[in-house]
Amino acid sequence: MAQVLEFKLPDLGEGLTEAEIVRWLVQVGDVVAVDQPVVEVETAKAMVEVPCPYGGVVTARFGEEGTELPVGAPLITVAVGAPATDAAQDGAQTQGSGNVLVGYGTSEAPARRRRVRPARPAPAVSQAPATANGQASTTDVADGPVPVISPLVRRLARENGLDLRELTGSGPDGLILRADVEYALRAAAAQGRAPAPARPQEAMAPAPAAALTGPQEAALPPAPALAPASAGTRIPLKGIRGAVADKLSRSRREIPDATCWVDADATELMRARAAMNAAGGPKISVLALLARICTAALARFPELNSTVDQEAREVVRFDHVHLGFAAQTERGLVVPVVRDAHARDTEGLCAEFARLTEAARAGTLTPSDLTGGTFTLNNYGVFGVDGSTPIINHPEAAMLGVGRIVPKPWVHEGELAVRQVVQLSLTFDHRVCDGGTAGGFLRDVADCVEQPAVLLRTL
């Protein structure tokens, strides 16, 4: 007798809690080998193929293309030749190769941890009949996948301690909708009991008087009427746009940031770049020169290469610089990370910027390429703007913004001249340092931009 193993969406990297199914690579009935990719998913950070750690016959797939699944949700079930036992089921996630995604493992979200059971032909939903005292019976809760697609519905239920298996979904094929969860929570709050299954049709109007007795009748609030559809286009905040929204919102909530800026004469920097490129060899970008200047300045002002551990109430200073840089792609803004930027020369930085930028545009960045940064360099001058007050890339402590380099009137050696001028802005976490340190760092960067030879002191 074949053993049916359930393979769940693994943890795809730091900070990622869900992924969208882009394309199934196998069909029900296909034979798969260990570590064979079975589905292509898009996270908020990258497009990845997910390999299955089991070999056998695919017996079920969960989720259509375009569906967003939370980490820990079932992806497929695979029938393998070994007989099923309770012990094998308990250890199902440790069988096979374990190479779901190299470096990220197959761990599932703690809130969803449960024993792996064979898949059902269709999602089972309990009817949860009420007992005489109005309490919902939980003895008939069905096993198997819960018919929920929306991560919002799952999060709403989880945060309020509601077991979704107790609900009867009112959507197509028993799909549990947000209206089902909200009505169950309202009823539970009014009656002081565990949430009871409900259908949204019941939520459209006040409950009938016969359904309530005693003081509970006045306590149950009437369900609000459905709001009319509003004009305009609604765009879901999901995928990369949703991840950016969440991260920037968290940065604003947690980080008391401040910004300082300065104009710098970049004429000598541009001349130095032209001389380097004229000497032959790989072409050097302005971004690589600015990155080299940043790493040198961070060595002198390590306070800005840090993060704040709020639980421990400690500032953590890093002994390495993993330099993030903002890159605009068709999928949206991403921040690839150059590992150990402090240990690379200008040519090495330029090569790594080029590799990561190409991967970002192709959508092939891995989660490790997009996480772990300690400081971010944001060159918004490529968009033709002079200045900005960038939002810190949480949980980092600072970000350097660089505007466009354009000819402007400038006093040079006591005379008015036309020079290549750039505006530099530094947004920093005021918890890690004061304005003197931030101003010192920014002035140090500006001095190196104006006189690149200053960098020789760090070599």
Q: pLDDT tens for the chain, 459 residues: list them.
A: 678 899 998 877 655 677 888 889 999 999 999 889 999 887 766 777 888 988 899 999 998 888 888 888 999 999 987 444 443 344 334 345 544 443 333 333 333 333 333 344 444 444 444 443 334 434 344 455 567 655 567 777 877 888 888 888 777 667 787 778 887 887 777 666 544 444 444 434 443 433 433 444 444 455 555 555 557 888 888 777 777 788 889 999 999 999 999 999 999 999 999 999 998 888 999 999 999 999 999 999 999 999 999 999 999 999 999 999 988 887 778 899 999 999 999 999 999 999 999 998 888 888 888 889 999 999 999 889 999 888 999 999 999 999 999 999 999 999 999 999 999 999 999 999 999 999 999 999 999 999 998 887 665
Same structural domain, 347 and 206: no
Residue 137 located in a structural domain:
no
Residue 283 located in a structural domain:
yes
Helix (H, G, I), strand (E, B) or coil at 380: helix
Same structural domain, 155 and 100: no
Same structural domain, 68 and 183: no
Please give the tally of structural domains in the chain: 3
Q: Which residues on neighbouring strands pair with residue 314, listed in sequence order?
A: 309
Same structural domain, 313 and 445: yes
Same structural domain, 287 and 243: yes
Q: From the candidates 369, 434, 444, 447, which is the catalytic residue?
A: 434
322 is catalytic: no
**End-of-domain residue from the set 83, 112, 141:** 112
pLDDT at 459: 56
**End-of-domain residue from the set 112, 141, 163:** 112
* C-beta of residue 131 within 8 angstroms of C-beta of residue 159: no
Q: From the candidates 369, 430, 444, 447, which is the catalytic residue?
A: 430
pLDDT at 84: 40
Same structural domain, 361 and 434: yes
Residue 299 located in a structural domain:
yes
Same structural domain, 297 and 430: yes
**End-of-domain residue from the set 63, 92, 112:** 112
Residue 142 located in a structural domain:
no
Residue 428 located in a structural domain:
yes
Helix (H, G, I), strand (E, B) or coil at 87: helix
Residue 124 located in a structural domain:
no
* C-beta of residue 75 within 8 angstroms of C-beta of residue 63: yes
430 is catalytic: yes
What is the extent of the structural domain holding 176? 151-219
Q: What letters, b where the CB count within 10 A reaches 16 and e where it falls short, cover 370-408? A: bbebbbbbbbbbeeeebbbebbbbbbbbbbbbbbbbeee
